[in-house]
Amino acid sequence: MGMLDGKIAIVTGAGSGLGRASAVALAAAGASVIVSDAVDDGGVETTVRINDAGGIAVYQHCDVSIAAECAALVEIARSEFGALHILHNNAGVAWPGRDNFAPDMDPAVWDKVISINLSGTFYCCHYAVPLMAASGGGSIINTASSMAHTPLGGLDGYAASKGGVALLTKSMSPNAGRLKIRVNAISPGYVDTPMNEMIWGNDDVKHAFNLGHATGLQSSDEIADLVVFLASDHSRSLTGAVLNCDGGWTAFKQPDLLRGFGVE
């Protein structure tokens, strides 16, 4: 038996990277997974992988920056499975380029980053919590970032959005706890994913980031294992926690390794 047998999960941003790994890991642990993404090809591929491996998954398109699409995503859990126990708010975007310092940043870019990373997390929680409560409770796992604690500088919108996710997590936890819902967040360091390729840009910068982690750059699978733990009863004493699962980045980061590459 899997530790999540009989549980129903939603994973946003599940078409690639950490979201895909988490959706696959949750299904492997026994959960039925509603895979969602704004990019359909990747989301469908994740769904096929889970089903081909013997798991249960359905796909639902969702741009989390649109509240109505988040409502429709939660409605799939109700209509297809009659319940919801796990919500992994993982959808996020980091805008490429070096024009992310506040005075240089296009306000439209700021609005887009905040709407996906922070508002999208709120929208999904807003619609999911009543169904989770009616299902007997469950676990919400939000994806924050090491930038919520130690910003690099120059990615102002992303850092602000992830700091907001961390504090939303803490703020929600007392009232959610009364509904038997735990709310936690993970703050990964730099995971070897396509999104982070935009940040380091070339192999030399990537190597510097690797050295800045005590245990090296992280894999999506190792973060997904923590998502499964937070979704399960093994983490029943945790709520309102923002976990630095960052390979020692915030403890070990060596700024001198990065300054030569224009990263502070």
CA 251 – CA 264 distance, rounded (Å) = 15
Q: Is the pLDDT of residue 256 over 60?
A: no
**Which residues partner with 8 through β-bridges?**
32
Measured distance CA(226)–CA(218) in Å, rounded: 12
pLDDT band at 225 (very low <50, low <70, confident <90, very high): very high
Question: Which pLDDT does position 99 carry in this prediction?
Answer: 67
d(CA 125, CA 233): 20
**Quick one: pLDDT band at residue 258, thresholds 50, 70, 90?**
low
Which one of 59, 123, 158, 190 is the catalytic residue?
158
Task: Classify residue 76 by its DSSP letter.
Answer: H
103-150 pLDDT, tens digit per residue, is 788 889 889 999 999 999 999 999 999 999 999 999 999 999 877 787
Question: How many whole angstroms separate alpha carbon 162 and alpha carbon 145?
Answer: 6
Q: Would you state the pLDDT for residue 173?
A: 98
pLDDT for 191 equals: 73
Strand ranges of the sheet holding 181-186, from the earlier edge strand across to the other edge? 56-61, 32-37, 8-11, 86-89, 138-143, 181-186, 242-243
What is the helix (H) or strand (E) element at residue 60, kind and residue range? Answer: strand 56-61
pLDDT greater than 60 at residue 249:
yes
| pLDDT value of position 149 | 80
Q: Is 188 helix (H, G, I), strand (E, B) or coil?
A: coil
149-206 pLDDT, tens digit per residue, is 877 777 888 889 999 999 999 999 999 999 999 999 998 877 777 666 666 667 766 6
Q: What is the pLDDT of residues 62-103, one digit of tens each?
A: 999 999 999 999 999 999 999 999 999 999 987 655 567 777
pLDDT at site 171: 98
Would you kindly state where each structural domain of the chain is located, as residue ranges? 8-197+219-251
Residue 253 pLDDT greater than 60, yes or no: no
* Strand (E) or helix (H) holding 208: helix 203-211
Q: Which residue has the higher pLDDT, 256 or 46?
A: 46
The reported pLDDT for the residue numbered 34 is 98
Calculate mean pLDDT across residues 8-25.
97
158 noted as active-site residue: yes
- With beta carbons less than 8 A apart as the criterion, state whether 45 and 52 touch: no
Q: Which two tokens stand for residue 164?
A: 């907001």
Q: What is the CATH number of domain 8-197+219-251?
A: 3.40.50.720
Which pLDDT band, with edges at 50, 70 and 90, does 219 fall under?
A: confident
